[in-house]
Chain A
Amino acid sequence: MNTPASQPAHEVPVPVAGFNLHNAVFFGAGNGLNKVRMQVADFNLHYGSFQALINVGMDVAARKITALIGPSGCGKSTLLRALNRMNDLIPGVRVSGQICLDGEDIYAPGVDVCALRKKTGMVFQRPNPFPLSVFDNVAFGLRVAGERSKAAIHETVERSLRGAWLWDQVRDTLHAPALDLPLDQQQRLCIARLLAIEPEVILLDEPCSALDPIATAKVEELLLNLKKQYTIVIVTHNMQQAARIADYTGYMLLGEMIDFGPTAALFTTPTDRRTNDYLSGRFG
C-alpha cells in the first residue's frame, strides 16, 4: 500500500493551514455577516485500513455555497457524507478529529444522528425518488417526523415544490408516480423532498452528473436562489460548475484538503502547485 494509511497518524503532515477554524480569515470573522456554520478540524476517516480523509479542515460559511472539487477518489464525497454522518452506515468506518455544526461536535457521544440528518439534508448523485407519487415523496420526511395534519402537509409540500421550482410543472399531477418525471424534474423533486424537512445545511453530491447541460443550468440557478436561506455544500467533478456558483471552493487530492478559499482566489491564484495543475487540466 502506498497510501498514507500505513504511516502512523502523527507523522502525517498537517495540510496547508490558513483556512480552518484556527484562522477564519476568509470569512471576515467577527463582522457577523459571514457566520461559520460548520467547522471541520483535523478530521480523519478510515475505511478499514484505508485512510480516505487525512487531517482535513475547512469552514462552511452560513448562506454561502461551498464547493468541493478534485479528481475521482480524492475523498470529496466521503467528506460530504461525513458532514451528516452518512458514513456511519458503512461497515468498518472510523473517524477522528472534529466536525462542528454551530459549535457543537456532531461526532460527540449522545448526538441524535436522526436529528442531525434532518438539519443537514442530502441530495444524491442520481435522482432517486421513492416509487411513490410526487406528493408522497415530498411528504415522506414530514410523515417520518410525525406530522399528521393534512393541511400542514399540503402546505409544506406546495411550499417545498415551489422552493425547488417544480410546482408549476407538477401542480396538476401531484399524484402521478414520481418516477415518470423527466430526470431533471426528478432531481428537483429530490431537492423539494429535502426542503420539506426544513434543513439548515444542504449537502449535494454531484447533483448534476446525471443531467444534461440545460437541466444543469436550471439546478445551478436554483442553488444560487436557495443560498439566500440555506447553507450549501456541493461536491462536483465539474470545475466550471464550482467556478460558476460557489463562494468558497476546496480542492482535495488523495484524501487531503490541498487548497481552500474564496472561489475566485482559488481559481486565479491557487496557493498550491497541485491545485494549479488540476485546474489547468494537467491531470484529473
Chain B
Amino acid sequence: MRISPKHTQRIAIALLGTATGVTLVVLLFIIGFVLEKGLPVVSFSFLFSMPKDMGRAGGILPTLVGTLLLPLLAIAIALPLGVGTAVYLTEYTRETRLTRIIRFGTDCLAGIPSIIFGLFGFIFFVTTLKLGWSLLSGGLTLAIMVLPTIIRTSEEAIRAVPRAWREVSFSLGATRWETVTKVVLPNALPGIVTGVMLSVGRSIGETAAVIFTAGSSLRMPHSVFDSVRTMAVHFYIMAREGISNENAYGTAAVLVISVLLVNTTTYWLMENMPASPSIKVSVRDLKVFFGQFQALRGVSLDVPAFQILGVIGPSGSAKTTFLRALNRMNELTPGSRMEGQVLLDDEDVYGPGCDAVALRKRVGMVFAMPVPLPMSIYDNLAYGPRLCGIRARATLDTLIETSLRAAFLWDEVKDRLRSSGLRLSGGQQQRLCLARTLAMQPELILLDEPCSGLDPISTARIEEALTMLKARYTIILVTNNTKQAARVADTTAFFLMGELIEHGPTGQIFTAPRDQRTDDYVTGRFG
C-alpha cells in the first residue's frame, strides 16, 4: 500500500520534530547535570586559591591561568600565520594548482583528531626540540590545530570584501599592501574575529592535544617553559584517578560556563557583523519538470544582494521557468515538479517551514504585459499593502508616493491618482506595475521581460528606475533584449534549452564569453 503524500508529510514532520526534541533534551540534560553537580562547589575561593593535596581540596587557580594562557598563546602564534596565509591566498596569488593543494592541506588538517596533534606535539616540540612539557609546546600544538579554522574563516571574510573597494584603492595610488591593510583587513575583521573566537572555544575544551604537550603540573607557571594544567586536563585527571568528584564537577561547571561565554560572544559578533554584500538568492541544482518534459536541467547560481542579474537566452530556453521557480509560481501550473534548492537569505523557499504566500510578499514580480487591476491608480498600489493589513490612510499615502517616485511615475500621475490605471499608456502601466510591486516592500524583484511591449523611451525609463532601485533591492531581470542586459545588469546568465550555459559579470559575458554558444548568442548569430 502506498501512503498518501499528505500522511508521509505529517509523519516526516513528526519524526523530524522528535529528533530535534531529543537533541535538545540531551543537551539541556548534560548542561543541567554538570551545573547542578558542579555549581555548589564553585565559589570565589574555589576559583582563586591554590589547590591542596593534588586537588583534593583547595581551588583551581593554576588551571584557570593555564586555560587562559594556553589559548592566548595559541592564537598569538596562529593568528599572524593564518591571516597571512589567507591574505596570500586571496590577494597575492591566482587560483593555481598550488593554492588548491594548500587549501586541500588545510582542509585535511582540520579533520585530523586532536590526539594526533598531541602525539605530533609530543614528538616534535617536547622531545625533538627539547621544549619539554611546557606552555610553549602546548601553545604551538594548539596553534597548529586551530590554524585551518583561522585560515578558512579569514579567507571567507577577505573574499567577501567587495572588489570595487580594492579597485578604488588601487586607483588612488595605493599599493597592494596598503590596500590589504587599509581596506581589506578592516572590512574583513568581524569575520576574522569570529574565526578566532571559534578557535578559542576549541582550545579551551581541548584535552588530548594538551595533556601530551603542556603536561599537567599544578603549579603556577612563571615562564612559557613551565608546564601547566588546563581545566579540561584537571577535570580529566581528577575524575579518572578518583581524586575528588566534587572538585571535578566544579571544574567542569566552570569550563562549561567559559565555553558558553565564548560561544555566545561569537554569535553576538556574527550577528553584529556589518552588512557586506551577501548572497541574496542561491539556486542549487534546480530542475523543473512539466509532466514528462524537463524544462530546467540543473541550474546553480548565486545572486548577490543589491545587484541586478540579467537572464538572457532565446525563447524556450526556460528563462521564465527559472524566474517563476524563485517565487514558487511554477507550482500553480498543474503537473509541475521541481528538484534542487532555492535559498533566499539561506532559507529554503521550498522547505517545509516556508509559506508560498508569505514568500511572494517578499519576492515581487513584474510580468511581461503590464496588468493593472481595473481600479484607480491609487487602489492599484494600495491593493497589496491592504492585503497585508495596512489600513492607515497616512501610511498608505506615503507608501504609494515613495513607490511611484521610485518607479519614476509620480510626476506623471500625481494629479490623477483617482483615475483608472487602465487609462495610462503602456509604458506608464508597466511602471505602475513596478510601483505596485515596490509598495509591497519586497526584498527581491523578479521582472519577466518587463520592456517587451514598450517603446524605447519607456524602456529607458524602466531601465533608469531599475538602476536606481538596486541600491535597495535585489533584482532579477529576464529579457529577450541582450542590449538591455548589457546596459543594466551587474551579472548576466545565459540560458539555452533549459541549461545555464554561462553566468558571470556582464562585461565578461558580452566581451569575453567562455562558451562559444554564449559568444554566438550575444553577437547575434542565433536567437
- Per-position contact with A for B485-527: 1 when CB-CB < 8 Å, else 0? 0110000000000000000000100111000000100010000
Contact B467 A209 (CB under 8 A): yes
Question: By the criterion CB–CB under 8 Å, are B172 and A118 in contact?
Answer: yes
Beta-carbon contact of A210 and B468 below 8 Å? yes
A197 and B173 contacting across the interface, CB-CB below 8 Å = yes
Check if B170 sits within 8 Å of A144, measured CB to CB: no
B73-128 interface with A by 8 A CB criterion:
94
In the complex, which of the residues B168, B173, B274, B511 contacts A114, with contact meaning CB atoms closer than 8 Å? B173
> Could you say which of A29-37, A119-127, A158-166, A271-279 contacts chain B?
A119-127
How far, in Å, is A188 (CB) from chain B's closest CB?
A: 15
Binds B, one of A11-19, A46-54, A56-64, A94-102: A46-54
A144 to B177, CA, bound (A): 10
Which residues of B (169-221) have their CB < 8 Å from a CB of A?
169-175, 178, 182-183, 187
Shortest CB-to-CB span from B326 to chain A, Å, is 24
Selected from B94, B178, B523, the residue in CB contact (under 8 A) with A144 is: B178
A141 at interface by CB-CB < 8 Å: yes
Known contacts A124-B167, A130-B183: does B468 contact A144 (CB below 8 Å)? no
Name, among B169, B172, B274, the residue most crowded by chain A CB atoms within 10 Å (CB to CB). B172
A199 to chain B minimum Cβ distance, whole angstroms, is 9
Tell me the complex Cα distance, A71–B7, Å. 58
Whether the Cβ atoms of A91 and B94 lie closer than 8 Å is: yes
Q: Contacts of B483 on A, CB cut-off 8 Å? A: 71-72, 284
Cβ B167 vs Cβ A89 within 8 A: yes
Residue from B173, B510, B512, B519 in contact with A117 in the complex, judged by beta carbons closer than 8 Å: B173
Verify if B267 is at the interface (C-beta below 8 Å from A): no
A118 near B173: Cβ-Cβ < 8 Å: yes
Residue of B170, B173, B486 with highest tally of chain A CB at under 10 A: B173
A2 touches B523 (CB 8 A): yes
A28 within 8 A of B: no
The answer to whether the Cβ of B257 comes within 8 Å of any Cβ in the partner chain is no
Contacts of A144 in B (CB 8 A): 169, 172-174, 178, 182
The secondary structure that dominates the B interface is helix
Chain B residues closer than 8 Å to A50, beta-carbon distance: 511-512
User: CA separation between A131 and B175, bound complex, in Å?
Assistant: 19
Q: Are A130 and B168 in contact (CB under 8 A)?
A: yes
Residue B164, interface by CB 8 Å = yes
Whether B165 is near chain A, meaning CB under 8 Å from some CB there, is: yes
The chain B residue sitting closest to A50, CB to CB, is: B512
Bound-complex Cα distance A7 to B37 (A)? 82
A154 within 8 A of B: no
Complex Cα spacing A183 to B471, Å: 8
A194 to chain B, nearest CB (A): 7
Q: How many residues of B contact A (CB 8 A)?
A: 32
A89 and B487 contact, CB distance less than 8 A: no
Taking the closest CB of chain B, its distance from the CB of A54, in whole angstroms, is 13
Minimum distance in angstroms from A280 CB to a CB of chain B: 14
Given A50-B511, A130-B183: A124 touches B168 (CB 8 Å cut-off)? yes
Of B182, B408, B507, B512, most buried by chain A (CB within 10 Å of CB) is B512
Q: Give the nearest-CB partner of A118 in chain B.
A: B173
- Return A135 CB to nearest CB of chain B, in Å: 15
Asked if A228 is at the interface (CB within 8 A of a chain B CB), the reply is no
A237, B487: Cβ atoms under 8 Å? yes
| A114 CB to nearest chain B CB (Å) | 5
- Beyond A84-B171, A86-B171, A117-B171, whether A124 also contacts B486 by CB under 8 A is no
CB nearest neighbor in A for B187: A131
A144 to B162, CA, bound (A): 19
Please tell me if the beta carbons of B182 and A143 are within 8 angstroms of each other in the complex.
yes
**Of B171, B408, B467, B523, which one neighbours A121 at CB under 8 angstroms?**
B171
State whether the Cβ of A111 lies closer than 8 Å to any Cβ in chain B.
no
Once the chains are docked, how many angstroms separate the CA of A50 from the CA of B507?
13
By a CB distance below 8 angstroms, the chain A residues around B167 are 86, 89, 124, 128
The answer for the CA separation of A145 and B178 in the assembled complex, in Å, is 10
Contacts of B170 in A (CB 8 A): 86, 89, 117
Chain B residues within an 8 Å CB radius of A84: 171
Point out the residues of chain A lying under 8 angstroms from B165, CB to CB. 128, 130
Listed residue (B483, B486, B511) with the most chain A CB atoms within 10 angstroms of its CB: B511
- A144 vs B183: C-alpha distance when bound (angstroms): 11
**Residue pair A73, B94 in contact (C-beta under 8 Å):** no
In the assembled complex, which residues on chain B have CB atoms less than 8 Å from the CB atom of A126?
164
Q: Are B468 and A183 in contact (CB under 8 A)?
A: yes
A140 at interface by CB-CB < 8 Å = yes
> Does A212 contact B172, Cβ atoms closer than 8 Å?
no
Q: Which 8 A-B pairs have the closest CB atoms?
A: A118-B173, A122-B171, A72-B486, A141-B172, A128-B164, A117-B173, A73-B510, A144-B174
14 intermolecular pairs with C-beta atoms under 8 Å apart: A2-B523, A72-B487, A72-B510, A73-B486, A117-B172, A121-B171, A128-B164, A130-B168, A140-B169, A140-B182, A144-B178, A183-B471, A197-B172, A212-B464
Question: Which B residues fall within an 8 A CB radius of A?
Answer: 94, 162, 164-165, 167-175, 178, 182-183, 187, 274, 408, 464, 467-468, 471, 483, 486-487, 507, 510-512, 519, 523
Known: A84-B171, A114-B175. 13 other contacts (CB 8 A): A1-B519, A48-B512, A52-B512, A72-B483, A117-B171, A121-B171, A131-B187, A140-B182, A141-B173, A141-B174, A193-B168, A194-B172, A237-B487
